[in-house]
Amino acid sequence: MSMRRLMLVGSWLALACVALFVAINIHEIGHVVVARVMGDSSATYHLYENSLDQRSIGHTSINDAALTADDLIAVYAAGVATTQILAVIAGALLRRLDGSNSKARPILISLIAACLLDAFFQALQGFRTSIPPSRFPTGVDAVDFAHLIETRIGVDSTLTTWCMLLLSLGWIALYLWVSRSSLHPSWSTDQAPT
């Protein structure tokens, strides 16, 4: 591998790490802002949580007693919603670059990837985590969200988790299809053959 290629790979890895860091912080800030708007003035987040029963990157501390079940549903959904809004904003900025060879292009693409993957991995955590709903809140967004939907609306939490996973995959596919020419000009079907 040439030095130039190695530098390019290293640059993309560094951008990916920065984008992931930004996405995690934006995700947690989304939870905190909505919790505070709903009435929990003590809501905070920690970038790293290491307690006896849980280790996590990005953890929001909320006072469940200060919030209703509907408020909690909004709080648990807010993290992913915030990163998806950021993905749409980054996509709009990328579209404004209009195929130019801007240095902002790799930054925006890395940010979009990190934000879109947040939706998928949050939904996937609902299957991966084996925490009983009796230990609510569990600290895992998808598990807590699915538990609240089950207790509030009556939809089975496993079905809710599957729906979240399928919706996240559908959202990613739709986003990539709509943004294909902005993400990579050669993906556009609108171009005339050369």
Each residue of 55-65: pLDDT tens digit? 677 788 889 88
Q: Give the mean pLDDT of 133-161.
A: 83
Average pLDDT rounded to a whole number, residues 12-31: 90
pTM score: 0.81
Distance between CA atoms of residues 77 and 68, nearest Å:
14
- Mean pLDDT across the stretch 148-171? 90
Considering only residues 150 and 1, tell me which one the structure prediction assigns the higher pLDDT: 150
Supply the pLDDT for residue 167.
92
Instruction: Look at residue 187 in the predicted model and tell me its pLDDT.
Output: 57
Domain boundaries, the chain: 11-183
Average pLDDT over residues 161-171: 91
- Residues 65-112 pLDDT 10s: 899 989 999 999 999 999 999 999 998 888 888 666 678 888 888 899
* Average pLDDT along the chain: 84
DSSP string, 66-118: GS-HHHHHHHHHHHHHHHHHHHHHHHHHHHHHTT---THHHHHHHHHHHHHHH
| pLDDT of 132 over the 70 cut | no
**Integer Cα distance of 51 and 67 in angstroms:** 24
Residue 194 has pLDDT above 50, yes or no: no
pLDDT at residue 176 is higher than 70: yes
